[in-house]
């Protein structure tokens, strides 16, 4: 089998094309939102919100409702809850996140363990199964992605200013606190639409890794976001093909490709790599 055939043969399969389309869309949304997540230092919140979506997914499974709604309710509620607790309560934010996310995940596992019978679909939410995405899932994904991307397109300046200098932005009249809650909701929606691709455990990598890799390569916000999108799409396409050829888990393969790109950039990148010129003259 030649290379052209290796690349083209899977495209004749409907499920593979759907997986590619969904993966590219998820990668784009994750990279856009992830750029702000990385700059705000919210990676841990991303991890927490994804785990907190689990009880929502299980509840939807038990009630035979749409998983997307269950996950969205649980994720958005947790994200807003974390925002509120970290502003009002007298405990450190990371402690509040740790308490909330472990508690929510435990609730999910507890509910999960009460189900007797077939639970195969639920495992795909833990570890992701992009190749199983249905046309209906894909339609919902397109809709929610559009919502997230439009909101970021409208508020990108305001989000950027309040991320960079929250005090200066708030003093000059930007509604920084409301932007913060809006952004937490965007993180939650992004995570919900990514769950089926890579699963609860790995979704934080989709959110953080491409943006972190991009930050190593550029000094400008707009190019960081653009590069993050390219890296995410590249990793999704590469990871999907690899998982197809090797017959291994697609979500994990995508994340491994992203991680590989990050390590490669860290090692060889022009600004941070081993070959980069260091300030202080120790050039290699």
Partner 1 sequence: MDPMRGQQDDHPGGHDRAGGHDHPHGRGDGHRLPVVGAGIDAGHAHAHADIWLSDVTAGYGDRVALEHVDLAIEPGTLLAVVGPNGAGKSTLLKVMAGLLVPWHGRVEVLRAPAGREAHRIAYVPQAELVDWHFPVTVHDVVIMGRYPALGPLRRPGPADRRAVDEALEKVGMAEHRGTQIGALSGGQRRRVFLARALAAEPDVFLLDEPVTGVDTTTQEDLMDILEAEAKRGKTVVATTHDLACAAQRFQQVLAINRTVIAHGPSSLVLDPAVLARTYGGHLLVLGGQAVVLDDAHHHDEAAPGEPHFHDDSRSKTP
Give the footprint of partner 1 on this chain (CB under 8 A).
39, 41, 86-87, 90, 93, 154-155, 157-158, 160-161, 164-165, 167-178, 215, 218-221, 223-224
Task: Report the nearest approach of partner 1 to the CB of residue 215 (Å).
Answer: 6
Task: Report the nearest approach of partner 1 to the CB of residue 94 (Å).
Answer: 11
Residue whose CB is less far from partner 1, 60 or 224: 224
Q: Give the angle 236-237-240 at the CA atoms, nearest 5°.
A: 80
Encode 199-263 in three state secondary structure: HHHHHHHHHHHHHHHHHCCCCCHHHHHHHHHHHHHHHHHHHHHHHHHHCCCHHHHHHHHHHHHHH
Quick check: helix, strand or coil at residue 97?
helix
CA pair distance 31, 230, nearest whole angstrom: 9
Task: Report the nearest approach of partner 1 to the CB of residue 81 (Å).
Answer: 16
Task: Report the nearest approach of partner 1 to the CB of residue 280 (Å).
Answer: 11
Task: Report the nearest approach of partner 1 to the CB of residue 93 (Å).
Answer: 7
Residue whose CB is less far from partner 1, 193 or 216: 216
Task: Report the nearest approach of partner 1 to the CB of residue 9 (Å).
Answer: 40
CA pair distance 217, 211, nearest whole angstrom: 10
Instruction: Provide the Cα torsion 135, 125, 92, 73; round to 10°.
Output: 50
Residue whose CB is less far from partner 1, 160 or 276: 160
Residue whose CB is less far from partner 1, 218 or 259: 218
Residue whose CB is less far from partner 1, 134 or 172: 172
Minimal CA–CA distance to 47: which of 107, 88, 94? 94
Residue whose CB is less far from partner 1, 69 or 80: 80
Minimal CA–CA distance to 199: which of 18, 41, 58, 54? 54
State how far the alpha carbon of 3 is from the alpha carbons of 12, 18, 237, 261, 281, in Å.
Answer: 15, 22, 15, 22, 45
Task: Report the nearest approach of partner 1 to the CB of residue 169 (Å).
Answer: 7
Residue whose CB is less far from partner 1, 26 or 96: 96
Token output for 228 = 């993050």
């Amino acid at each position: 089998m030649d290379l052209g055939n290796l690349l083209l043969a899977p495209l004749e399969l409907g499920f593979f094309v759907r997986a590619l389309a969904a993966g590219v869309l998820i990668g784009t949304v994750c990279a856009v939102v992830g750029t702000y997540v990385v700059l705000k230092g919210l990676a841990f919140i991303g991890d927490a919100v994804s785990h907190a979506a689990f009880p929502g997914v299980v509840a939807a499974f038990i009630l035979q409702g749409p998983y997307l709604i269950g996950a969205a309710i649980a994720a958005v509620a947790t994200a807003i809850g974390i925002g509120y607790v970290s502003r009002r309560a007298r405990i450190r934010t990371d402690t509040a996140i740790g308490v909330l996310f472990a508690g929510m995940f435990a609730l999910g596992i507890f509910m999960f363990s009460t189900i007797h019978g077939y639970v195969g679909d639920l495992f795909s939410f833990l570890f992701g199964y992009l190749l199983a995405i249905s046309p209906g899932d894909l339609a919902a994904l397109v809709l929610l992605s559009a919502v997230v991307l439009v909101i970021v397109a409208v508020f990108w300046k305001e989000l950027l200013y309040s991320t960079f200098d929250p005090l200066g932005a708030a003093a000059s009249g930007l509604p920084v606190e409301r932007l913060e809650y809006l952004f937490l909701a965007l993180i939650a929606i992004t995570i919900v639409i990514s769950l089926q691709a890579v699963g609860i455990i790995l979704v934080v990598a989709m959110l953080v890794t491409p943006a972190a890799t991009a930050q190593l390569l550029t000094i400008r916000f707009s190019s960081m976001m653009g590069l993050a999108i390219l890296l995410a799409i590249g990793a999704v396409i590469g990871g999907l093909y690899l998982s197809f050829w090797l017959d291994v888990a697609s979500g994990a393969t995508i994340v491994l490709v992203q991680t590989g790109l990050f390590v490669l950039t860290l090692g060889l990148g022009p600004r941070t790599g081993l070959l980069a010129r260091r300030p202080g003259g120790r050039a290699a």
